[in-house]
A = this chain, B = another copy of it.
Amino acid sequence: MPLADTGSLEGITYEELQLAARNHGMPLEGLRYDLTPLGMHYLLIHFDIPPADDTTWTVDIEGRVRKPMSLSMRDIRSRPAVTQAVTMECAGNGRARLHPRPLSQPWLSEAVGTAAWTGTPLRPLLDEAGMEDDAVELIFEGADHGTQDGVEQDYERSLSIADAVRDEVLLAYEIDGRPLPPQHGAPVRLLVPGWYGMTSVKWLRRITAVAEPFDGYQMWAYRLRDRVEDEGVAVTRMLPRALMIPPGFPEFFERTRTLDAGPTTLEGRAWSGAGPVTRVEVSADGGVVWDDARLEPAVGPYAWRRWTFGWMAEPGEHELVVRATDGAGNVQPLDGPWNHHGLANNMAQRVPITVR
C-alpha cells in the first residue's frame, strides 16, 4: 500500500475530506435503479443534522400573510397527499473537477439521486394563509444552525411567489413510502422539483412571506460569479446531465476500469430541470465521434430517464463520454464552466477504460 507522500499531488484539503466523509454521493452503480435505494441518494448537509421531535414540530407560516398559521405534523399529514418521483442534484456537483478547485464539498459527478417523495402541495396552504398584496417572496427556514463565511445563520433560502405556487412544490414528509430519515430533513422539508437541491430546505420550520427579495447568505452563495465581488447570476434549475454506469470492473484504489472485449450495453440516466431530456449522445473516442443513445421514458415529469447504447468493445484503451441535451436546447459542455463557487458544472462525464 502506498503512503500519502508518494501519492499524486492533487492536494485535496483536510477540510474537504471532512465534508466528503459526511456528505456522500450516489455510487454510479445506483444509476441502475429507477428510484435510488434509500441510503444511496446523495446528501449535502450544510451544518448539523438537528434533533427533531415529530410530535412537537411545527411549520409556521407568517410575515406578509393575512392569517398566520402554525401547522403540526398531524395537520400536514391530514392534508391531501401527492407522491412524485423527483431527481435531485446538488448545485455543487462537478465542483472538484474545476481548475483551480473552489474549496467546498468536493463533488466529482455523483451528487444526485431519485426518490418518490410524498407530501402536501404548498399552494393550498398559501391560499389559506392569504398573501398580502405586497408579498413578493417566501423565505423557507430550516432548523440546522451554523456559521459560513463568518455569518451565523439558520439555513434559509427564498423563492418567488410564482415559483412557490407551482403544482409540484411540496412540503414532503415521506421518501419511498417511509417517514423522512433525519438526514433527509425529518420530519418535513420543502421539495422543489427541477431545481438544484439547495432550494429544497430540509428540517423546515418556518415560511415567511416578505415584501422585499431576501438577501440572506445562502442566496448570495448560490450565484454564478467569476470573482467574489461580482453580483453574479442566481443558480436555480438543474442543467442537463447524463451519467453512465462505468462498465466492466474497478481497481479498488485507482477506480480504473477493465472490460472484456465484445458487445456491451452501456447504460445510465439523464435529467434536466429546464425541460425533458431530448437527446443523449455517447462517444467512445474521447469526444470526436458521437452517436445517439436510445432513450427510455422518464420515470416521471421531474425525474431522470434511462438511456442505453450498444458498444462493440475492441481491445485497447478507450475514453467513453456521454452528454445530454434538453428540450430548452441546453447541451452539456465538454469543459467545465468555471465560477467562483464551483456551481452548476455539468461538463460531460468521461470514463477511461481498458478493454482486454
Q: Is A27 an interface residue (CB 8 A)?
A: yes
CA distance A181 to B35 in the complex (A): 12
Chain A contact residues: helix, strand, loop or mixed: loop
How far does the Cβ of A343 sit from chain B's closest Cβ, in whole Å?
10
Mark interface residues in A149-186 (1 if CB within 8 Å of B CB, else 0): 10000000000000000000000000000000111100
**Which residues of B lie under 8 Å from residue A11 when comparing CB positions?**
4-5, 7, 9-12
**Which residues of B lie under 8 Å from residue A251 when comparing CB positions?**
146-148
Number of interface residues of A (CB under 8 A): 73
**Which residues of B lie under 8 Å from residue A17 when comparing CB positions?**
10, 12, 16-17, 20, 96, 106, 108
Q: Is A145 an interface residue (CB 8 A)?
A: yes
B146 touches A3 (CB 8 A): no
How far does the Cβ of A141 sit from chain B's closest Cβ, in whole Å?
15
B249 touches A21 (CB 8 A): no
B48 touches A249 (CB 8 A): yes
Q: Which of A2, A15, A110 has the most chain B CB within a 10 Å cutoff? A: A15
Of B7, B101, B183, B246, which is within 8 A of A27 by CB?
B183
**Which residues of B lie under 8 Å from residue A145 when comparing CB positions?**
249
Q: Is A262 an interface residue (CB 8 A)?
A: no
Q: Is A205 an interface residue (CB 8 A)?
A: no
New A-B pairs, 20, CB < 8 Å, besides A11-B11, A33-B182, A40-B181: A1-B103, A1-B104, A2-B102, A3-B102, A4-B13, A4-B101, A7-B16, A9-B13, A10-B14, A15-B253, A17-B17, A24-B43, A27-B49, A30-B182, A38-B38, A38-B181, A39-B39, A39-B181, A39-B184, A46-B252
Q: Which residues of A contact B (CB under 8 A)?
A: 1-5, 7-25, 27, 29-30, 32-33, 37-41, 43, 45-49, 51, 96, 100-104, 106-108, 110, 145-149, 181-184, 228, 246, 249-255, 258, 340-342
